[in-house]
Structure 1
Amino acid sequence: MFNKLIFFILLITTSFTASAQYNWALKSDKDGIKIYTSPVVNSKLKALRIECNYQSTLTQMVAALLDLKTRTEWIYHTKSIRLVKQVSPSELFYYSEINLPWPAQNRDFVAHLITTQDENTKVVTMDGPVAPTMVPEKDGIVRVKNSISKWLIFPLNKNEVKVEYTIQLDPGGAIPAWLTNMFASEGPTQSFKALRLQLKKPEYRSASVPFIKNY
């Protein structure tokens, strides 16, 4: 997930805009989706940031991102996903497996997803660090054990938001160059375009998320 493979290994996925350790460079600007990369100290993989505007309320966007059962419909190469533990309406753990073509082995991860909202700006933050030991590892699947990811959702007006998703991780094991390139060219664009379609579904348009206040 280029390490853009990482985007699809974890959605499961920050801005880190105030962090001096990142030096973002625009690599792609297509279909309203901007993709940036940055070198990471002591890592061969680059960090990834994706930006996109959506016709959506804050509630719609958060409802769609928290709807685990539909993530296989729009997150590139997601094979399966399930809830592990619901701590509160705004905090949960989930398990996901990412389907990779041969000869690469599938990856899986357990994410700890925490959603908060700034009372003044209404900006929503969704942190998704991994919890690698919460679910036993499976034979033949490489566990993602190191990851930093975050969604930032900025309200632009009552019916439009800007999303920034940033992720830095080590997918573990070996990833062939051709596979990295495939995910780099197709993954971010396909997933963020598919999210646009998800947001149009009636269940999100009428969704209620008690801990989120719209702009």
Structure 2
Amino acid sequence: MDRLSVLFLALFVAIFARAADSNELEDWKLVSDRNDIQVYMKHRDESRLKTFRGVTHFTLADEYSLVALLNDYPSYPKWLHFVDSAEEFNRINPLDRSLRFTTQLPWPLADREAVLRAKVTQTMTEDEESVMVDLINRPDALPPNNEYIRFPEMTGKLGFRRLGGKKVEMTYELILDPGGYIPAWIANILLRDAPYFTLERLRRIVSKPEYQNHYYDYLDLYGPGRPAAVVGSRK
């Protein structure tokens, strides 16, 4: 292939990528913008419910503090909206775990539980540096629990990407079917609120002293040109 053909091919790929990004943005509708947290909604034709995504930017001086927070299951009710307990019941490795959440929904709605697989992916390229936790629905991974209605569908993602310096962009996305009897309009209100309150609380809690100065060797959050690992917990 001659140099001119290579140039045209590169130009085509760049234009196509920008068009794909534009289409992705057009799929999402901004429904809330407050306290530097944007909440977007996307309608899914195959579901009676909508997908909601929250995005915020903030300073995260110690990125391992976020890992420490995610490892602190008793703290989840303090920042993860509507969750009143979280536990790990299986671990393939530190980046692939199985979790059970219980939710405390407002009366007269019955409480729910979610059984999920949490898979962590780290991307370190010239174009992007990010860590994302994908939440994958696994409702049959545990026996039924008569005290809770199990979510028949729940998927989501939580993670960050670097923006430069100590700034990060944090994203929380959630889609679920609560099961049982909940009118779709009520469920969608709950879904809309979850990204906002989760990100608002997470930003505050992750800066607490107990989550600073930890190190986890299964994630390389320093990389070339980053500060050396701090002395602290190694897990």
Q: TM above 0.5, one fold? A: yes
**Pairwise CA RMSD:** 2.5
- Taking the aligned partners of 1:136 and 1:168, their CA distance within structure 2 comes to 23
Higher relative contact order (CA 8 A, sep 6+): 1
Question: Which structure would you say has the larger Rg?
Answer: 2
Output one character per residue of 1:73-125: Cα deviation in whole Å (capped at 9) or x when no partner: 11122121111112212221111100112221111011111112113232112
- 1:110 to 1:69, Cα distance in 2 relative to 1, 3 A: same
1:212 corresponds in structure 2 to 220
Q: Aligned letter for 1:34? A: Q
2:170 corresponds in structure 1 to 163
2:155 corresponds in structure 1 to 148
- 1:159 to 1:21, Cα distance in 2 relative to 1, 3 A: closer
Number of equivalences: 199
- 1:90 to 1:154, Cα distance in 2 relative to 1, 3 A: same
Structure 2: runs of 5+ lacking an equivalent: 1-20, 227-235
Output one character per residue of 1:125-174: Cα deviation in whole Å (capped at 9) or x when no partner: 21110211111121142111223312241112342210122222222122
Q: Aligned letter for 2:46? A: N
1:128 aligned counterpart, secondary structure: strand
1:132 corresponds in structure 2 to 139
TM superposition outliers: structure 1 runs of 4+ over 4 Å = 17-22, 176-179
2:108 corresponds in structure 1 to 103
2:33 corresponds in structure 1 to 29
- Taking the aligned partners of 1:177 and 1:127, their CA distance within structure 2 comes to 24
- Taking the aligned partners of 1:193 and 1:21, their CA distance within structure 2 comes to 23
- 1:177 to 1:146, Cα distance in 2 relative to 1, 3 A: closer
1:3 corresponds in structure 2 to none
User: By percentage of residues, which structure has more helix?
Assistant: 2
1:177 deviates by: 6.4
- Is the 8 Å Cα contact of residues 150 and 165 (structure 1) preserved in structure 2? yes
Counting only pairs closer than 5 Å after superposition, residues 1-215 of structure 1 correspond to structure 2 as 23-56=27-60, 57-120=62-125, 121-176=128-183, 179-180=186-187, 183=190, 186-210=193-217, 211-214=219-222
